[in-house]
Amino acid sequence: MAAGTSARGRAARPRQYDLDSLLAVAVSVFNERGYDGTSMEDLAAAAGITKSSIYHHVPGKEQLLRLAVERALEGLFAVTREDGAKTGPAIDRLEYVLRREVEVLVERLPYVTLLLRVRGNTETERWALQQRKTFDRFVQSLVKKAADEGDLRRDVDPAIAERLVFGMINSIVEWYRPGRVPVSTLADGVVTLALSGLRGKGS
């Protein structure tokens, strides 16, 4: 984003970071090595900078994690406040949220990836887990409502179904990379699979 040769000045002044561009690098490394498996030296090397320089931008390693998961959670919770998630039959709201969640997940892929891998070792991580739980409960209530309105199959426990569909969506971060397949195709696939299943009958 803000890294690279500045406007003027021959071959001088390469790499120059601000908080945002440094965060992008850090998150990328976190996702590759895992948060605990990443040292400040790893980050420094990836950024082409020294360890101590990182502390000019950020007060510590944990803050980088915090900023990243905040960015992810912000996107996720924004969906729950959108119209499509609040009006109409629960089954439609559910479909809307599923599709939108896929979109947000792809849009902020590295940040959401990191969020989904949080384990709970630090205060920041525990806070992130709590937030995820809150979001989870929102979707859970949608599934419950759709079941109550008779729009879901009755031979699968709604609680289990929610976990599974949720897990399916979250697993996207493990393999999807933007470019090859358009997001809309992915989102269609998710919604179709979640609601109508894999088996035949399709056009």
Q: Interface with its own copies by CB under 8 A: which residues?
A: 32-34, 36-37, 91, 119-121, 150-157, 160-161, 163-168, 170-172, 174-176, 181, 185-186, 188-190, 192-203
Q: Is 55 in the site for DNA (CB under 7 A)?
A: yes
CB of 202 to its own copies, least distance (A): 3
Residue 27 burial by CB count (10 A; 0-12/13-18/19+): exposed, middle or buried?
A: buried
11 is a contact residue toward DNA (CB under 7 A): no
> How far is CA 68 from each of CA 43, 109, 110, rounded to the nearest angstrom?
15, 11, 8
Measured from the CB atom, is 1 or 156 closer to its own copies? 156
Alpha helices in 2-60, H assignment, sequence order? 19-33, 40-47, 51-57
| Binding-site partner at residue 49 among DNA, its own copies, none, CB < 5 to 8 Å by type | DNA
**Whole-Å CA distances, 138 to 19, 50, 77, 132, 201:** 32, 43, 10, 10, 32
**Residue 183 found at the interface with DNA (CB under 7 A):** no
CA-to-CA distance for 128 and 125, rounded, in angstroms? 5
Rounded (5°) CA angle 2-19-78: 100
Q: Which is nearer to DNA, 28 or 140 (CB)?
A: 28
Stretch that binds DNA, among 23-31, 60-68, 150-158, 192-200 (CB under 7 A): 60-68
Tell me, residue by residue from 15 to 54, as one string, x for binding to DNA by CB under 7 A and - for no binding: xxxx---x---------------xxxx------xxxxxx-
Chain positions 61 to 90 lying near DNA, rule: CB under 7 A, are 61-62
Query: Is 121 a binder of DNA (CB under 7 A)?
Result: no
Provide the token pair at 85.
Answer: 């998630």
Rounded-to-integer distance, Cα 32 and Cα 26, Å? 10
Least Cβ distance, residue 2 to DNA (angstroms): 7
Return the amino acid letter for 146. Answer: A
